[in-house]
Structure 1
């Protein structure tokens, strides 16, 4: 494959534009990924590059000049959850197998997607990986083996129902000798002749050469007339020859992965070390702090090892050890995300595998990571339990993190100093303080909860503690209304509102809130002071007297298309942009509605966007750029919308791009406008070519006239006034065709 093949491919996919891998800004209506590149699981080599696969992306290292390039879903990858990658030197393609059976074939000029295996009608199909032999890709699956010709993307053969008596059987790995195929499968190791006269689709031709039960053999490798394999229990490495089985030795790790080669040795990556088998079948161990969690090992023609490590990314072991990974968060998915003065802060999800206090910060296109874990490019902080929810205190310029047992961790976003706040929560002899969420109200008061207590701190740092048995465990979400009350999601996803020592559950009872469901999943106050609630049966909105003081009352149910907004949907997250529009995250994608929910602007899914999953867990918005950060169950992406935080004045108005050049395919964006300003664009003759309004402080034009045609070359003028007609702005831009 040609040098810099990913850069070349990306240039083609982006119509020849320069690829800026860490651009500070992205155009309106475009996406970018925020992926973890250190938790890698697979690796392959081309003639000039080493390519690593993390959960949702690839990155390559040019072995000549050290250039690192990434490729993600918005660059052309067709799916998420990369299972395995490989390379065919005959077809000159990098091959990506996803966990669902989807396949991408990546060449210098194109990405070809093959969904035949994904769409096959085997019930309960699952996939375990693949190996290459010449131009053929052999996929190991729960139903057998699929042989794909990478030169024409045709399935040559499928070896299914090759278990005992023609039964379906898991096949975990495959290896090749000069005349046979060997598979590691649910019944042990089977072999079949690899010649034109042998029908490999007939189970009778597959012979058990090593018998095992309970899926104990998961990897095999042919070398020097022997088939090396591992047994899960007892944890053994053995070698098979037709005249018998010999024991190589034992491994002690919890897991082991694929057998492969490292120079003259056979390698077996395991939980925290690599086992090596030399030419005399002597077993040794390789361990190094830079290779703490090896997942796959391959070698180059010089005998150097290239390792996909689940902690440090790509690792090269030669006379020295080098690690490589692009900028990204320390974790793949987030527990919580917030904006703090245009810094996006994230904490790792419970499923991330990070069990100590850690967080990541995104600003100006760069990720910074903070943790007590020993990692490259990580700033060390004290060893604390896992961080949970967060809140930003603008007056202090600090982000406060809730922890699992140690109270609060407060971090100054500019000075990068910190403090741990635990003692105020140790009421009634408690020794630990688990905090799941917290908030600051408009007066700078801090609100948070621990089991059975609501804690309140005023700006003078004076604490009050309220015992309330309705707070069973720490609240998972905390919001404040403009009426001075705290809205809490407590155990069982119930909604509890607290004010002045009194609390009240809200429910579906029409005299007690009239919620669409008692299961409340998300809360968000909007720019007008309304509290929005997401439930497992749609949304609700409330503006009025604090519920603890309201007597009988019912929330409002926003309506879209004549029905309650998103009725029947699990609304797991809510965010509000500069135009007071509502971004709603469900298990079926991301929805953008008008401020009252009555108009749908966008619905994003994995099919029509760069979302990695339709299961939206959390949303955060950077207000000055309008960039919307979306945490899905499979990874984090962002989308730059056309709404920004506005003011009553026109401030630092920007029109971009200008000039609009022929190759540009995006929209024209005008930012820095007054809130909800009227906007008109005219040509030099004064004819209006477009008119609209700002969402918050921004608007965008799709660069199309009313008849759908493109505007011609020339200078165009922008005229804008605020709602009262008191503030005005005039600007201009050019279009080149």
Structure 2
């Protein structure tokens, strides 16, 4: 078929098509692409393969070449089924297996350089969070948040869960998170957050579904066992050892008791047994047991003593995965640290793009950061940055950057000299909460068209509700309860056209109309919308936004609403599966598309009110389904999506052209096979019109709303193959022309 198309192109439309194809490759190569940004310094588990250190992290895979120290990073856009990884294992064929919290099982075939994702643990009634993997000949033992499963990866069509064991003995009578699986002879040992158990591993001969065939131990009824939160299980020449929150315990099979084996003051998270030495990885560094004595490896030079995993290479060097500080290596009696570049954490609560294109991020418990397009910078070291959670960020009309915090007040970075200043209850009218007067919660920031800055003061100890810093000033105006703001619990705010919209937790939505005069309250009006009176989906309002037509969009804990001004009430917007019901984020792009963030994915409503896209981790490369922030870069068209497990960037192609001659059509040539294909006019300005003609000048189709064409004429019939012309007219009357090549198959 390709050869046939090629001949047609050469014979009929060779020169125009080649020209258009070249334009397409140059301009549209990135449209629809995803990029993931995650913190990968929380190393969960490490393993070695052919001189490469493979690390399962909470943000994807890190591979360090131990020969030259080069580092590679892999995420879901590189083929992983999920980014939050808890386990990595090597099977007898040299394949690497990694388990993720979203239930995907990832196999890397290093010979073919290929990732294969198994969704077997996702397709059932409950999605398993995979926490541990151990390869055992042709099967895998998989530990999850509900128990242990036998997984056969070779069973068609794409692997099979042979059995799952949820109750591991009489004493472990509830589902428990599995932290460790270890095979000792003909037995399988399982360490969980509620105890430890073992059973014969030959599941074909022994019914492991029957809990009576498991032997379990918990601290309440197991002699010698004083802690049953088990991180890791190993054996030393057949003698079983477990690592717990309070040291190491050794199993005595004679009477099924446990004996303390030292390190009582340490959380022991991993073991490595090499050449008669037992190496313990703990929250206080590395300990080595040899000749009956524990010795502590010096922490001098170690980035953090809080460690999660350890492995020794052939040269005797120790490689450890740390809890938040990347990778460390102990070689020739000294530590060397490897910090992986990336954001300070994987929580993205809010974002802003400044005039230079930098992305500023509110990272909640990881405070704040910015990204300049190539490198991340954490702002934790800024003295004025509070240790509290940073929940919002906004740029004002003077390009100053403002952050608000949950407990630490408001922080401002002056754009001109990059100086920082923090506003608290001591130097501003901001107020703390009743029981803790120095705990100042400012839940959001809004900047209006005039440059006024607005700050909701959550649960202030007096009648203070909202504060405003007028444009070009540093003084505060205070709006009180008596001004009509009758709730203490204010979440998000939106300032638009002289109105301040305030989202309440449990008490609806407030429209505070300040009539463009922030210092004159005499002409202010207040409208309070509720579930009962105005048909809001819920009184717990999470977000509010105003689109380019002036329509009010409201996201609640129970759905998405728009305000119908004609009827004076809200109307429910039906969300497609699997979105919703809770809507946490709404953003409007340059074409008046509405981007809707929920706990189950991201949707896009086009300017015609139709859901054009629904993105989840199972149909796209978005990094997580729980959306917390969306920021549209109107200069580039990039959509930044903040989640609870990383940051995604989507190349939408929505940035309007500064010159209409930049508007182009793709894919070009436009191949029509089934009649469901769509052609997109890229960089089309909002409310621009498209007219499509034949080369003979006959009008084929006029598109007055949207940027898509389905290849049909005004009568609804598919057009014939050939060359077509399109004319663009924007609201100001400017015009431009382009060409489209149609191929019918």
Fold in common (TM above 0.5): yes
Distance 1:467-1:314 versus aligned 2 partners, 3 A rule: same
Correspondence for 1:163 among 160, 169, 183: 169
3-state SS of paired residue (1:644)? coil
Counterpart among 302, 310, 319 of residue 306 in structure 1: 319
1:90-489 equivalences under 5 Å are 90-99=92-101, 101-108=103-110, 109=112, 110-119=114-123, 128-133=131-136, 136-141=139-144, 145-148=148-151, 153=159, 163-164=169-170, 170=176, 172-178=179-185, 180-184=187-191, 190-191=197-198, 199=206, 201=208, 215-232=228-245, 235-240=246-251, 242=253, 246-253=259-266, 255-261=267-273, 265-284=277-296, 286-287=298-299, 289-319=302-332, 320-324=334-338, 326-341=340-355, 342-349=357-364, 353-354=365-366, 358-364=367-373, 366-372=374-380, 382-394=385-397, 396-412=398-414, 416-422=418-424, 425-426=428-429, 433-450=440-457, 451=460, 452-461=464-473, 462-468=475-481, 470=485, 472-473=487-488, 475-482=490-497, 484-489=498-503
How many angstroms does 1:718 deviate by? 6.2
Mapped partners of 1:120, 1:672: distance in 2: 42
The Cα of 1:335 is off from its aligned counterpart by: 1.6
Unmatched tracts of structure 2, length 5 or more: 1-26, 515-519, 672-676
- 703-712 or 33-42: bigger deviation: 703-712
SS at match of 1:74: helix
Partner of 2:39, secondary structure, is: coil
The separation in 2 between residues aligned to 1:414 and 1:327, in whole angstroms, is 28
TM-score of the aligned structures, taking structure 1 as reference length: 0.77
Moved more, 185-194 or 400-409: 185-194
Structure 1 residues without counterparts, runs of 5 or longer: 1-23, 374-378, 545-552
Query: How large is the RMSD of aligned CA atoms in angstroms?
Result: 4.6
Alpha-carbon distance, 1:523 to partner: 1.0
Deviations 1:446-482 (A, max 9, x none): 2223222322222241432233264654732121121
Q: Which one of 712, 725, 735 corresponds to residue 728 of structure 1? A: 735
Cα distance in structure 1, aligned partners of 2:166 and 2:628: 38
Shift of 1:618: 2.3
Cα distance, 1:419 vs structure 2: 2.7
Report if the CA contact (8 A) 2:536-2:561 is conserved.
Answer: yes
1:97 to partner: Cα distance: 1.5
Partner SS state of residue 456, structure 1 = strand
Q: Deviations over 1:76-116 (max 9, x none)?
A: 2223532212222x222110112354322121333333344
Q: How far 1:579 moved relative to its partner? A: 0.6
CA contact (8 A) 1:138 1:147 kept: yes
Change (3 A) 1:293 1:709: farther
* Partner Cα separation in structure 1 for residue 203 and residue 578 of structure 2: 58
Q: How many residues align?
A: 674
For 1:385 and 1:166, locate their aligned partners in 2 and report how far apart those are by CA, in whole Å. Answer: 39
- Aligned match of 1:29: 32
Shift of 1:602: 1.7
1:187 and 1:537 map into 2 onto residues whose CA distance is 36
Q: Which residue of 2 aligns with 1:506?
A: 528
Taking the aligned partners of 2:288 and 2:678, their CA distance within structure 1 comes to 56
Q: Write the distance in 1 (CA, Å) between the matches of 2:528 and 2:487.
A: 16
Distance 1:165 1:273 in 2: 32
Deviations 1:571-602 (A, max 9, x none): 22110010112112233432211336x32212
TM normalised by structure 2 equals 0.76
Equivalent residue in structure 1 for 2:553, among 522, 532, 544: 532
Residue 615 of structure 2 corresponds to 604
Contact 2:47/2:88, CA 8 A, preserved across alignment: yes
Deviations 1:276-297 (A, max 9, x none): 3235342435535413432222
- Contact residue 200 and residue 206 of structure 1 kept, 8 A: no
Pick from 612, 622, 626: which aligns with 1:615?
626
Tell me by how many angstroms 1:71 deviates: 2.5
Change (3 A) 1:732 1:229: same
Q: Residues 425 and 455 of structure 1 are in contact (CA less than 8 Å); yes or no, is this contact kept in structure 2? A: no
Give SS of 1:250's match.
coil
